[in-house]
């Protein structure tokens, strides 16, 4: 970065308002830019291969923890999965209207996330956010990679949960990274709010990068 002459020896407030940086143009070559990702059956690409447990209601978080602890004892290396995560939350019960719909949609989006190599949707059975309604709103999914369980419909929900995680582990045993064009990499950015640094070099660099 080289400042314009009028920016030389100016106070900080002047620089933050007038934004004086100058950049040399250095076009990036796109000929072989790739990253190592996981290509999913629907064409989406993840940067991780995670095993997720998605509770439809917050009151089964504790049961999910027991299932995960037992699974880790049997598979300390997690096989081809990078992590196993319970998407804990306190919602799903006694929610109405848009509030209920928002909770369900956020959890549905998690199921469809390309970083999820396997998902267990885990319900209690008496919540507003029931598993049958969840499935109706889920849309297309891979039944080998997404499993469902309702605790109150199982004689031993812990054993059933462990069995379903074993099925997901088996389905993912051949998962491996492959070279994926950089243009397919999805990056989420969050603006910290309007400041005097909105035109600063880091912001502009991100802009140039995202046009790739």
3-state DSSP of 51-90: EEEEECCHHHHHHHHHHHHHHHHHCCCCCCCCEEEECCCC
The confidence score (pLDDT) of residue 3 equals: 46
Residue 147 or 28, more confident: 147
CATH number of 39-178: 3.40.50.2300
Name the token pair of 17: 């308002």
What span, in angstroms and rounded, lies between the C-alpha atoms of 83 and 75?
12
* 75-97 pLDDT tens trace: 999 999 999 999 999 999 988 89
* Portion of the chain with pLDDT greater than 90, in percent: 67
pLDDT at 208 over 60: yes
The confidence score (pLDDT) of residue 24 equals: 61
Cα maximum dimension of the chain? 77
The confidence score (pLDDT) of residue 1 equals: 44
pLDDT at 10 over 50: yes
């Amino acid at each position: 970065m080289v400042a314009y002459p009028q920016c030389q020896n100016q106070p900080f407030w002047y620089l933050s308002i007038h934004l004086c940086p100058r950049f040399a143009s250095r076009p990036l070559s796109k000929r072989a830019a790739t990253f190592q990702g996981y290509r999913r059956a629907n064409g989406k690409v993840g940067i991780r291969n995670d095993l997720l447990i998605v509770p439809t209601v917050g009151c089964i978080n504790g049961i999910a923890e027991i299932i995960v602890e037992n699974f880790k004892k049997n598979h300390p290396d997690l096989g081809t999965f990078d992590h196993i995560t319970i998407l804990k939350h306190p919602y799903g019960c006694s929610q109405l209207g848009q509030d209920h719909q928002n909770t369900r949609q956020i959890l549905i989006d998690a199921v469809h996330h390309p970083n999820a190599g396997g998902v267990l949707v885990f319900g209690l059975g008496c919540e507003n956010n029931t598993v049958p309604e969840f499935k109706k709103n889920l849309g297309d999914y891979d039944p080998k990679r997404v499993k469902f369980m309702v605790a109150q419909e199982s004689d031993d929900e812990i054993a059933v949960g462990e069995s379903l995680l074993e099925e997901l582990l088996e389905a993912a045993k051949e998962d491996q990274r492959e070279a994926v064009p950089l243009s397919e990499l999805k990056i989420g950015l969050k603006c910290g709010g309007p400041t005097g640094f909105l035109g600063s070099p880091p912001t502009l660099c991100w802009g140039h990068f995202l046009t790739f």
